[in-house]
């Protein structure tokens, strides 16, 4: 069973029990665009406790807000299918700028009014094949416009993250932001800092990992978000992002976005956004080495080989190519590195060390600064092809020690 089929079954179960049940939000938008929704949400007039009685395999993920997660059979990827079922509601005041302090169960018409943008405020009955649009979402989708529902200032004040969501959604679907909505976003943008770093980072991941990331970065600046989220960034080079492969990872796209930053600055931003260790490490390595291969054909092999042997080399070459193309420069250095990777066996690119720390200890040396200097010297000579055996390596160490 697919997720879509399971979402239809959830609606059917609710309707057969006498309740009103409709698909809601993003899945309706994606269906109208001919896209495959990432997930399905169902809205219903059934109360949370009624939903849980109908679906024995369910979890109250937000019972106070009327949200129940219904768990289905395993899907095509061998994971249990899930659909969130929420009771139609109206929201009270948003005192924390994220969640309402109270909710009132209501009707689909009222439920639509609490949502963020018109294209996300539609409902669809998959059994009857009927669209329920109380906010003009279908017309805005056809006109390729992103418009806040009702008063945009009020919508953004309810949850400041919606300003960043407006940028991401407009970029993803190539929409023009309605003038009133844009003006409201620009007014609220300085307040985005009240939103948690984790929520901001998640929106940035989606924005920068999407093929339309170049436009997304321009909209970040247009909405006034760039200097608020990245005060240390002088300019966001959207042109570099345009030259990345559409399927580029978030760390790669982020490294391109932070082109003016050094490694320390990039790490500080990663820490502030509370990125994962893997994301921070990958980002920092790309930023540190974004100019390392510009003169690749003339670099010593002892410098070039360790970079080429790094697991992130394909992304680094993609970054070098994008930077060169954005600046109207040749990409000869990238092609040179790609030829080396293609023609050079892994055992030559990153051979096992000829001399190890244990070998130096056996020679009577104690670990320390000199210890590391000698190991590095032998390793460099090995990568340059100047020593080819342990005997040659130990001979070189003896010579270096004799020189003091």
For 273-290, write each residue's pLDDT tens digit. Answer: 999 999 999 999 999 999
Centre a 10 Å sphere on the Cβ of residue 10 and count the other Cβ atoms it contains: 26
What pLDDT does 100 receive?
57
**Domain residue ranges in the chain:** 1-136, 296-349, 357-402
For 52-104, write each residue's pLDDT tens digit. Answer: 999 989 999 876 778 999 999 988 877 899 999 999 987 655 555 555 555 67
9-23, 66-80, 130-144, 302-316: the lowest-pLDDT one: 66-80
Distance (Å, whole) CA 176 – CA 262: 34
Secondary structure (3-state) at 12: helix
Altogether, the residues listed in the chain come to a count of 404
Distance (Å, whole) CA 315 – CA 2: 34
CATH number given to 1-136? 3.30.460.10
Centre a 10 Å sphere on the Cβ of residue 368 and count the other Cβ atoms it contains: 8
- DSSP assignment, residue 65? G
- Residue 260 banded pLDDT, cuts 50, 70, 90: confident
- According to DSSP, the residues that pair with 58 across neighbouring strands are 70
Q: How distant, in Å, are the alpha carbons of 10, 18, 41, 48, 75 from that of 88?
A: 16, 15, 12, 10, 27
For 111-125, write each residue's pLDDT tens digit. Answer: 999 999 999 999 999
Q: Is the pLDDT of residue 223 over 60?
A: yes
Quick one: angle between helices 390-402 and 369-383, nearest 10? 130
pTM: 0.87
Q: Quote the Cα angle for 372-374-380, to 5°.
A: 100
Distance (Å, whole) CA 361 – CA 364: 5
Q: Are the C-beta atoms of 128 and 161 separated by less than 8 Å? A: no
């Amino acid at each position: 069973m697919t997720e879509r089929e399971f979402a239809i079954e959830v609606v059917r179960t609710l309707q057969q029990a006498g309740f009103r049940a409709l698909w809601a939000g993003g899945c309706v938008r994606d269906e109208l665009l001919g896209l495959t929704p990432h997930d399905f949400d169902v809205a219903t007039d059934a109360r949370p406790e009624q939903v849980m009685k109908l679906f024995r395999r369910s979890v109250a993920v937000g019972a106070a807000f009327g949200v129940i997660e219904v768990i289905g059979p395993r899907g095509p990827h061998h994971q249990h299918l899930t659909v969130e079922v929420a009771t139609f509601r109206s929201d009270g005041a948003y005192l924390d700028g994220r969640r309402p302090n109270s909710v009132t169960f209501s009707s689909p018409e009222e439920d639509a009014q609490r949502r963020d943008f018109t294209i996300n405020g539609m409902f669809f009955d998959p059994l009857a094949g009927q669209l329920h649009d109380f906010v003009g979402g279908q017309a805005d989708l056809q006109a390729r416009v992103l418009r806040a529902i009702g008063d945009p200032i009020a919508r953004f004040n309810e949850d400041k993250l919606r300003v960043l969501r407006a940028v991401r959604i407009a970029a993803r679907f190539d929409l023009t932001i309605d003038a009133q909505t844009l003006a409201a976003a620009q007014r609220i943008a300085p307040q985005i800092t009240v939103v948690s770093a984790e929520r901001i980072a998640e929106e940035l991941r989606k924005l920068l990992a999407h093929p339309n990331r170049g436009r997304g970065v321009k909209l970040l600046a247009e909405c006034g978000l760039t200097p608020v989220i990245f005060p240390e960034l002088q300019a966001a080079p959207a042109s570099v992002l345009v030259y990345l492969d559409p399927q580029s990872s978030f760390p790669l796209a982020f490294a391109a976005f932070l082109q003016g930053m050094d490694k320390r600055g990039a790490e500080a931003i990663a820490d502030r956004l509370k990125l994962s260790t893997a994301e921070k490490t990958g980002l920092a390595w790309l930023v540190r080495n974004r100019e390392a291969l510009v003169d690749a054909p003339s670099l010593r092999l002892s410098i070039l080989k360790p970079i080429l042997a790094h697991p992130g080399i394909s992304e680094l070459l993609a970054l070098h190519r994008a930077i060169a193309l954005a600046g109207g420069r040749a990409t000869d250095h990238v092609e040179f590195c790609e030829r080396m990777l293609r023609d050079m066996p892994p055992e030559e690119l990153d051979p096992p060390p000829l001399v190890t720390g244990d070998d130096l200890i056996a020679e009577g040396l104690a670990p320390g600064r000199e210890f590391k200097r000698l190991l590095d010297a032998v390793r460099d000579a090995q990568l340059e092809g100047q020593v080819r055996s342990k005997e040659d390596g130990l001979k070189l160490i003896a010579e270096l020690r004799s020189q003091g």
